[in-house]
Structure 1
Amino acid sequence: MEMGEQDAILVIDHDPAAALLLSDFLEREGYAVAVAHTGADGLRLIRQSAFALVLLDLELPDVESTCLIRETVRIEAPPEIIVVTARATLDSAIAAVENRSAGYILKPVDLARLGGIVARVYDRRRLARDNARLHAELSERLAESEALAAISATVSSTLDVREALRRICRELVRLLGADTAAVYLQDLGSGRLAPTAAYHVPREYLDTLSTTPLPLKEQGFFLPLWRERRPVFSDDVTADPRFTHPMFRSFPHQSGLLLPLIVEDEVIGGFYIVWWTARRSFSDHELRGLDHVCEQVGFFLRNARRYEQAERNQHRLEVLHDVSRRLPTTSTRSRRKVRGLASTWSA
């Protein structure tokens, strides 16, 4: 059985023969084992390393074992403790119970019983780790769902694209624990990413961020972001060769995340999210969650584009109808042409 440092067992026993007996048995069972022969050495190891379990002899020559138990349970993520003693007393048993020891074993040690207790300790700790992981995953999903709900409410409450994007930047900052977020949309004429909206930009950087476009093809993130449609992040932007544009150097920051904005299977821009001093990296799971957020933003932008196109067509249609009414002497051919254009734009 392969075990990490957090899964190791520490045997603290003043008797070398007893310590060897216990460590050999536990190693044969597949556990990683460390040994200390004094309370001071044992406490030093507990503070230096992470252990799942401590087998503690009550008859230590230098430290009162109950004091060592109290010190152990005070540390962050303390190991569980099995008390081992050749002389059981009521006081030691009460102390073991009060400090929630995982077991109380008499010498000579019944190795089969010890093995059962150790196995239960590890099962319990694995269950606790699994519960903590599931809780973290559920918290992430809840935060993602809340962000999606907030973004959905945002995009349904305004037809102003810039204002909607600013609010979405705000939700991304809240979701990711970031400091600042900005959105850039591609300018087809220049091929650059033009700043469009932002949230929580420091005053001293506002002019720079609001007026400086990003030249796509000069940046190292062009291929993964634009062609492969993958997020790009760095937890050390200043030293990252992919972020060489002067704009990134004009406002020094530690971490940055670029998220692609895709509309109708085409990348049209991206969000840039900033952590001024914190190092921030992302797991694949987190990036997949952000894909869902960007998909929803993409749907909004697609619908906004269609709405703007419909508005333009409606305006043109009204102009053509007005022209048709104002020109009663227009030839039949001209009238047909006007009606044809009106039909095209109203489709």
Structure 2
Amino acid sequence: MPECYGKLAEIFEHQVFELHLGEERGRKTDFYIPYMMNDALECYLVLRDAWMTGDYLELDPEEYPIQGQLAWRDDKSALIVKQGKENVFTIWFAELTEVFQCYQYHRIGHFWVQGQEQWRQLVYMVGTVYEKYQYLGDAACNTEEQAFMRLIEFSPFRYWSPVGESLDDRYPSTREGALCMKEMALEAGDKGYARLAGIYARFPAGFLKRKLAKKLCSPARQGLYENIYEKIRAASLKYPKRVYGEELDGKILGERKRIHQKLHRAGFSGKYPVYTKGNVQIVAAEEHPFTTMEAEDFTFRIRFMVSRCRKEKEMGRNCGFFSGRGREGRIQEDLDLLLGELEE
């Protein structure tokens, strides 16, 4: 059977079945079933030219386990779904297909945990790439991504979790992950951190993990940080941007233009998304909705990573977020409020 049927079986096996109404065409419609949706990838199954008998209920699968069964009659297929003992519905459809599209992700910024946001942002991006490779392999990752994605297997790197809990149960810790970080450090000319990462590859002791994690906060890691970010950016740019349609695409471009004009009027130089003025740097980070099946209350928005260093010569991408005297890094949501604070 086509591979998409295997993905459908996985969805039921892992109890993650969701059903969304897609395109409507008269009495028939398409139904969407998400397989993997994240900031770098949208992959979902489509039941085409379908109609439903019964109702899909949003029930907790832990309390109401989901079972799926396929049946055929004449030239039609049927997906029969049982939600515990409470509900049964059937979707008749003409064809099961798959939508698979990778997107850019290097401007993404979700800030759920305060402190060292510059590293938490990279951990989120690398973890997102790693997960799409886990599920979909080479088809979902280019060679540039495969060169850095094992960083997530380096425990001191993922110590800076972007969410309010440890990531150690989600990703393995491997020698290859430590060697990947060693290579990144050597490329950045950071021989000290490369040496420690090499030692950690052989002796992954807990005290060394904490030491390596804390050392990432030092301004001495600026070059390593920028090296990793540039690799992520180059890999991300190989993919297209999300396209939402004329209205939302126009709103996004307009918002970026508005920010650019305001910052230049305030004396900043640069181009979107990075601007500097003296010893202050502002980096715009974005949150993007999915192109389909997005929650109604989730919209595109921009937040700002604000850095202040003691001297202009210390400036680098998000330099203020690294711990050090005279350095300050914070997240600001309101640009007008931010500019007002900087003028004071």
**TM-score calculated relative to the size of structure 2:** 0.21
Which structure has greater strand proportion?
A: 2
Which protein, 1 or 2, shows the higher relative CO under an 8 Å CA cutoff with sep ≥ 6? 2
Which structure has greater helix proportion?
A: 1
